[in-house]
Amino acid sequence: MPPLSRLRPAIRSAGHLGRRSGRASGVHPPKLRVPLSAYVVDCAVYVDGARLPGRWSHDEAIAEVRERKDGFVWIGLHEPDEEQITGVAETYGLHELAVEDAVHAHNRPKLERYDETLFMVLKTVRYVGHKDPTAANEIVETGEVMAFLGRDFVVTVRHGRHSGLREVRRKLEDDPEQLALGPAAVLHAIADHVVDSYTEVAGQIEDDIDEIEAEVFSPRSTMNPEQIYVMKREILDLRRAVMPLVGPMRKLSEGYSSLIPHDVRSYFRDVDDHLGGVAEQVAGFNELLTTLVDAVLAKISMRQNNDMRKITAYAGLISVPTMVAGVYGMNFDNMPELHWNFGYPMVLLVIAVVCGVLYRNFRRNGWL
């Protein structure tokens, strides 16, 4: 048997060969599977408006409700991927198209009906604080909340850092009478929470627009239209969240599905009224900002016209001594007043008088 010192180079070369062959064959370490529990924010069973004690998995919770034939399940998920949401989708019978939308996000607000399930998408918004709205690059931050509504369950899927529903759940649990209305009451609470955030953000943006308007019409304003376009872009983000939601909210308030009991429709009508007010407010923001852009462009045009008039006036003033100096600079012998002792002062006096008359006329006409 060869000594160990002679085997070490061979062992090292074999190790390098193994690593090279592993890279060449595309072999990678197996990807760790993240359990569904990592994406579940909360899973609760509610009966008669009260939360049952204990911790529940998604299959145990729905089994408990269907065995009791009473109550419902509310599962909250945060940014799950397709693999993690598959178990919930199979257990609760969620449609594959709606599940795909819930995983990939970036959807317009909408309401769709799949057999015995409703799927609703809502855009969430958050106002980003800043010192000066004319210098901010981002004013509105958006996210999404999707809700699957069945007869005995609600599954919510959130995307974004600010779209939490913990406060909504807490308020509902503090109001057993409202929670006893079933899954539709949860959907109403979520929609009401989202629309309230629209109202709050719209009020804060209105303050920013008032500040921009005051800056635009200040006497020595240096506002550029690009700064207002930034605000218009942020208003567009808010508009994309608010406007498409008007139709779905109207459907829920008018009995679009039997999953929304008559007792809950009146609550949706209240949310629809608030949403309509925000929609009108956002539309007014867009029109006002368009007017402010026109005003800024008009002020810039007026400022440029004033500058051009001043330049023209000063050019006229300079042309008089330039013309006289050009004539007397030709150095001819037989020029008038060339050998007169008072010729030079007389020329300067004429230049001063003509320039003074021109200056007075320019000032009178507002050119200087």
Q: How far apart are the first and last CA of the chain?
A: 107
Are 104 and 187 within one domain? Answer: yes
Are residues 260 and 279 part of one domain?
A: yes
Residue 216 sits in the same domain as residue 323: no
pTM: 0.72
Q: Residue 44 pairs with which residues in a beta bridge?
A: 74
| 257/359 same-domain check | no
pLDDT of residue 19: 35
Same domain, 209 and 164: yes
On whether residue 48 sits in a domain, the answer given is yes
Instruction: Report the distance separating Cα 160 and Cα 141, nearest Å.
Output: 9
Q: Is residue 8 part of a domain?
A: no
Out of 278, 300, 322, a domain closes at 300
**28 in a domain, yes or no?**
no
- Say yes or no: 241 and 174 in one domain: yes
The pair of three-digit structure tokens given for residue 213, joined into one six-digit string: 């308007």
At position 179, the amino acid (one-letter code) is L
Residues 83 and 223 in one domain: yes
Please give the pLDDT value at position 315: 82
Among residues 282, 300, 318, which one ends one of the domains?
300
Q: Is residue 125 domain-shared with residue 77, that is, in the same domain?
A: yes
Residue 18 within any structural domain of the chain: no
The reply to whether 124 and 230 lie within a common domain is yes
Are 281 and 355 found together in one domain? no
- How many angstroms separate the CA atoms of 315 and 308, rounded? 10
Number of structural domains (the chain) is 2
Q: Is there a single domain that holds both residue 330 and residue 349? A: yes
Q: How, if at all, do strands 72-78 and 40-47 pair?
A: antiparallel
In this predicted structure, what is the pLDDT of residue 2? Answer: 41
291 with 312, same domain?
no
- Tens digit of each residue's pLDDT, the chain (368 residues): 344 333 334 333 334 333 333 333 344 444 334 444 546 888 999 999 999 998 988 889 999 999 989 999 999 999 888 888 888 999 999 999 999 999 888 889 999 999 889 999 999 998 887 666 655 566 788 899 999 999 999 999 999 877 788 899 999 999 999 999 999 999 999 999 999 999 999 998 888 888 888 888 877 777 777 778 888 888 888 899 999 999 999 999 888 888 999 889 999 999 999 999 999 999 888 888 888 888 887 777 777 777 787 888 888 878 878 877 777 777 666 666 666 777 777 778 888 888 888 788 877 777 77
Last residue of a domain, one of 274, 300, 326: 300
Nearest to 73 by CA among 86, 55, 58, 87: 58
Residue matched to tokens 């969240």: 241
Check which CATH number belongs to the domain holding 319 and give it: 1.20.58.340
Structural domain of 357: 304-364
User: Residue 288, exposed/middle/buried by CB under 10 A (0-12, 13-18, 19+)?
Assistant: middle
Q: Does a structural domain hold residue 31?
A: no
Query: The domain that contains 71 carries what CATH number?
Result: 3.30.460.20
Count CB-CB contacts under 10 A for residue 207. 10
